[in-house]
Structure 1
Amino acid sequence: MFPTRRDFQAMAEHTRTGILIHEAASKNILWANPAACRMFGFTLEELRPLKAHHMSSQERQYRRALGVAWLQSAVVHGSSRRQWKYRTKAGVDFLTDATASHIQFQDGPVVMVEFRNISEEVEIQQELSWVSQSLQRIMTHTSAGILVLDDDNCIEDISPLAARLFDSTPDRLTGVHLEDLGRCDPALNSEQVVAKLASGHGSVKITQKITKADGSITWLAGELEDVVHDGIVSRVLAFRDVTERVELELRHEYQEANLQYLSRYNAMGDMAMILAHELGQPLAASSNYLSGLKARVAGGTLDREQLSYGLDMAERQLSRAAEIVASVKRYVRRIESTMSALDLNEVVDESLYFVRLRAAERGIRVDVHSAPEPLPVQGESVLIGQVIINLCFNAIDEIVLPNTEVKVLTVSTSRDGEWACVSVADRGRGMESAPENRLASGVFSAKQDGSGLGLILSEHIVERHGGDIRFLANEPRGTEVRLRLPITRASR
């Protein structure tokens, strides 16, 4: 069974490809299949009298002369293919992929034009091309390095900037496992990373340490995520060079650790000094009582009442020494304390034990006025305590001067809005020329018999806790040092 002429006509009428039949000599339209009529929006009777300029785009590259030349090329060479933009009856242009073929019909030669609408295909192609070019421009010019990884975390594509961060080129890095270039934190195959990427939500922060050939270290930080596009999943890592920031953080951590060390070192020194100084008096007194008893025993003049009195007084002095040792031990045991929730009232009370010891031996009265409510702060009690002790010792050194008439040290705690405050006041010389914002600028000189902690160190400790220290004029005379720390959020 062979197809007949009618069969070929039926195929032409049912194909989705548009077909136009032009007379070879005049280029007039002789026939159009239903698909062509639907594309143009004309009936066959409306199409036949139309010329090329009636049914083609008005753009210059689709003018009538070029259309006629294209059809004539098919007459001369047998066929000719090109993109041609037609126009519908409604005036809408549509781009086609068209092929003109010279065919000899029974009644004479014709040119058959087969065409299909490719407007959507071209738009999609242009969009994909734009996306591809944009991505390439981003990868080339962005300040962030871009890597595309496969499922095994090997590099499939890498931007020039990213390659430079590794001191290499994109060609050399393609196919290299990312962690062969430097340790990643967290590891790319860790449960944390795998689970996060598998969830399909969000990205994972990755830090990578790169050791270069010259021994220098580069730190990279970025976001790793799985990007879905057109049903394809791509693992993309965008990162930046954060070496300066990391080095700054490391220096800051070192300074913090050094401050901790200095603070604790000075705290231990202070406690040793207090222990040696304060134990001297009760130990000497108990020794004197025991020596007196020993002398009376040798002289045969000791009676029962004197023995009881001497032993009682020696025991009392030794008990005082034991109390001092126990207090110092409790304080030193907290030297390695960490940040925790504190009541500033309690910190002041603990610190004043040592302040009272020094004040008592110098004939100074300590007046304490505590806030009626708790003052919750966040910090290290031993460091805050050391600042309070240092401020009080400095005030005592001022009060003991001969020209200070009022031998009273006043310590008070209070709440001022969002701040917990400690005030240390004296009636000494005051600071007529010292502005309150010049804490560590050399206005107040260090003393040989001070605590050794120093105002500069005190300022650093308080600033690290988010607070400040202010020097104010006391009324009617003297200096008030006010330490402020932020009230904890829970309390607020």
Structure 2
Amino acid sequence: MEPVDEDFRSMIQQSPTGVLLHEVNSLRILWANQTACELFKYDLAELRSLKAHHMSSQNERYHREDGVAWLHSAALFGSSSRQWKYLASDGTEFLTDATATVVRLDGQKVIMVELRPTDHEIGAEEPIDWATVSLERIISHTSSGILVLDDADRVVRASPLAAGLFGKTSEDIVGIHVLELGKMSPESAELDFQQKDTDPNKKINCRIKVKNADNSSRWLAGYLENVEIDDTNLSVLMVRDITDRIEAEEHVAAQRTQLEYLSRYNAMGDMALLLAHDLGQPLAASLNFLSGVKTRINDPHVEADTLSYGIEMIEKQLNRASEIVSSAKRYVRRIESTTATFNLLDAVKESLYFVRLRATEFDVPVKVELGNQPLLLEGEQVLIGQVIINLCMNAIDEIKDSDNNKELHVTLRDDGGLASLSIADQGRGMKEHPADRLALGAFSSKEDGSGIGLIISEQIAQRHGGTIQFTPNEPQGTIATLTLPLKSD
């Protein structure tokens, strides 16, 4: 390839800095300016036929793999700088400060290497560490360490940062198999490492858990890419510390677990309140009928139909008590349930059983429009059920103290991929309490309702990808709308 931009070529030809253009993938030389040709003591045609190891010092500190990794890192991240010693055609060596940069030329990307010879004598060279020099810019900008692996996935080179992340020095880590450095996750990543020889172009993302000297853990994010240069396979693994991110994720998970515990704990409390309240009526009625039967059974003139009626009513009340207990047991049995697909329609119907018990106590009619269409969600039915109960109980508390229409309206519908449940009342409304304060507890001052609170209800809705919104009802009152995403097919 010859650069077609004459102004560019003229400018580069006059530069005192040597310039080489490399093809991005194969890294072969495409072009060089006059300064570079003079440094290497080759003409352009000869330079273009050279391989990387023909141009580099034979000193052990300038491994061919290091040079390939350096240029490859520039291809990955746009730019990379390091000191590098080159070999001229007459056998002399010269040390340079070299910068590799990805540029676009003639419609395609190339790697431009700028060579600035230094005045250091060979004997006065500073010790050159592969990563601290060759990848200094990458490390400083990405806080990443770099490991070079051989074909057997053993470390052959490591930056001090990378070695330190594994609790080792650059010398100590050489020769260790990458899978012995820590525990990889997900498990498929370890399998990918074992099978990567069958797919040289496979890129691997993983997390590595490393044990520190004090038995604490450090988490690293790893990215491995295989590169084949001159028939040699080179693997570069970049690692960076993500312990803070993992700890933050664990903190969020702990908060979620605490929320689940509080929600389930309050669900048990709700059931206890309902059982204590609603079992009292049928049991008291059963005792009254039983007392009446006992009084009349010794009466020689009592009619059989009268005793039968009393026994029948006792049986009816006890059956009612049994239904209440069975419903509570079904509800509580799922308190330890995990995420699963469920029908919101079923959850609403089950929740309304308990809502109606409370509404009957205050003579509040419950009007429902649920339809028959299944509305499938992904989540925890018991938690969503608690949200529904909580919203309805708050609405009933508003209705019972109102002089307006004492009705609770519950509407469920499919709203274009979303399930929308509206709970409307004509209570005190939002004049006293602004909408942005409703979820903070300003909406209700009830003494024995659900207890999980609107703020926790809102958190549960958000966890399921939904929202709770409060809007004014007409002519007075509030509409609470729970919106949840339907499960996609």
Question: Partner of 1:326: helix, strand, or coil?
Answer: helix
Which letter maps to 1:238? Answer: M
1:477 CA drift (Å): 0.8
Q: TM-score, normalised by structure 2?
A: 0.70
| 2:291 paired with 1:295 | no
Question: Partner of 1:316: helix, strand, or coil?
Answer: helix
Distance in 1, Cα, partners of 2:300 & 2:192: 85
1:123 CA drift (Å): 6.7
1:174 CA drift (Å): 1.8
1:343 CA drift (Å): 3.1
Contact 1:367 1:411 in 2 (8 A): yes
Query: Residue in 2 aligned with 1:48?
Result: none
Distance in 1, Cα, partners of 2:192 & 2:249: 25
Structure-2 change in CA distance of 1:233 and 1:439 (3 Å): farther
Query: Residue in 1 aligned with 2:60?
Result: none
Distance in 2, Cα, partners of 1:189 & 1:436: 49
1:213 CA drift (Å): 2.5
| 2:431 paired with 1:415 | no
Distance in 2, Cα, partners of 1:305 & 1:188: 76
Deviations 1:447-478 (A, max 9, x none): 32121111111000000011111111110011
Which letter maps to 2:209? Answer: K
Question: Partner of 2:442: helix, strand, or coil?
Answer: coil
Distance in 2, Cα, partners of 1:475 & 1:96: 87
1:347 CA drift (Å): 1.8
Query: Residue in 2 aligned with 1:169?
Result: 169
Query: Residue in 2 aligned with 1:193?
Result: 193
Distance in 1, Cα, partners of 2:226 & 2:168: 25
Query: Residue in 2 aligned with 1:489?
Result: 488
1:371 CA drift (Å): 4.0
Contact 1:404 1:429 in 2 (8 A): no
Matches for 1:50-449 after TM superposition, within 5 Å? 119-120=47-48, 124=52, 125-126=54-55, 131=68, 134=71, 136=130, 139-142=135-138, 143=142, 144-186=144-186, 191-371=191-371, 373-401=373-401, 403-449=402-448
Deviations 1:348-372 (A, max 9, x none): 1111011011111221111111246
Question: Partner of 1:268: helix, strand, or coil?
Answer: helix
Query: Residue in 1 aligned with 2:77?
Result: none
Distance in 1, Cα, partners of 2:203 & 2:47: 37
Question: Partner of 2:435: helix, strand, or coil?
Answer: coil
Distance in 1, Cα, partners of 2:202 & 2:213: 35
* Larger Cα-atom Rg: 1
Query: Residue in 2 aligned with 1:454?
Result: 453
Deviations 1:48-98 (A, max 9, x none): xxxxxxxxxxx9xxxxxxxxxxxxxxxxxxxxxxxxxxxxxxxxx999989
Contact 2:151 2:233 in 1 (8 A): no
Contact 2:394 2:444 in 1 (8 A): no
Structure-2 change in CA distance of 1:407 and 1:226 (3 Å): same
Distance in 1, Cα, partners of 2:188 & 2:408: 61
Contact 1:155 1:175 in 2 (8 A): yes
Question: Partner of 2:426: helix, strand, or coil?
Answer: coil
Question: Partner of 2:135: helix, strand, or coil?
Answer: helix
Distance in 2, Cα, partners of 1:303 & 1:324: 33
Which letter maps to 1:139? Answer: L
1:445 CA drift (Å): 4.8
Structure-2 change in CA distance of 1:133 and 1:422 (3 Å): closer
Question: Partner of 2:312: helix, strand, or coil?
Answer: helix
1:384 CA drift (Å): 0.8
Distance in 1, Cα, partners of 2:219 & 2:40: 54
Distance in 2, Cα, partners of 1:446 & 1:153: 65
Alignment: residue pair count? 381
Distance in 2, Cα, partners of 1:476 & 1:266: 34
Structure-2 change in CA distance of 1:308 and 1:300 (3 Å): same
Unaligned runs of 5+ in 2: 1-13, 15-36, 57-63, 74-129
Unaligned runs of 5+ in 1: 1-58, 60-92, 99-116
Question: Partner of 2:420: helix, strand, or coil?
Answer: strand
Distance in 2, Cα, partners of 1:158 & 1:481: 59
Distance in 2, Cα, partners of 1:209 & 1:460: 31
Distance in 2, Cα, partners of 1:342 & 1:122: 67
Question: Partner of 2:157: helix, strand, or coil?
Answer: strand
Distance in 1, Cα, partners of 2:188 & 2:274: 55
1:166 CA drift (Å): 2.9
Deviations 1:369-426 (A, max 9, x none): 124644333222111111000111111111111x433221111112333421111111
Question: Partner of 2:475: helix, strand, or coil?
Answer: coil
Deviations 1:23-45 (A, max 9, x none): xxxxxxxxxxxxxxxxxxxxxxx
Structure-2 change in CA distance of 1:138 and 1:442 (3 Å): farther
Moved more, 301-310 or 186-195: 186-195
Contact 1:439 1:470 in 2 (8 A): no
Deviations 1:127-146 (A, max 9, x none): 86964654555533322221
Cα RMSD for the two superposed structures: 3.0
Which letter maps to 1:471? Answer: F
Deviations 1:183-205 (A, max 9, x none): 23356995453234423342232
Distance in 1, Cα, partners of 2:296 & 2:483: 58
Query: Residue in 2 aligned with 1:470?
Result: 469
Moved more, 476-485 or 119-128: 119-128
Which letter maps to 2:465? Answer: G
1:173 CA drift (Å): 2.0
Contact 1:409 1:424 in 2 (8 A): yes
Distance in 1, Cα, partners of 2:222 & 2:207: 7
Structure-2 change in CA distance of 1:276 and 1:120 (3 Å): same
Contact 1:145 1:161 in 2 (8 A): yes
Question: Partner of 1:393: helix, strand, or coil?
Answer: helix
> Aligned residues: percent identity?
47
Query: Residue in 1 aligned with 2:478?
Result: 479
Distance in 1, Cα, partners of 2:483 & 2:317: 39
Query: Residue in 1 aligned with 2:125?
Result: none
Query: Residue in 2 aligned with 1:32?
Result: none
Contact 2:184 2:190 in 1 (8 A): no
Structure-2 change in CA distance of 1:252 and 1:95 (3 Å): closer
Which letter maps to 1:416? Answer: D
Contact 2:179 2:190 in 1 (8 A): no
Contact 1:369 1:411 in 2 (8 A): yes
1:258 CA drift (Å): 1.4
Query: Residue in 2 aligned with 1:63?
Result: none
Distance in 2, Cα, partners of 1:188 & 1:399: 57
Distance in 2, Cα, partners of 1:97 & 1:473: 85
Distance in 1, Cα, partners of 2:185 & 2:431: 56
Query: Residue in 2 aligned with 1:35?
Result: none
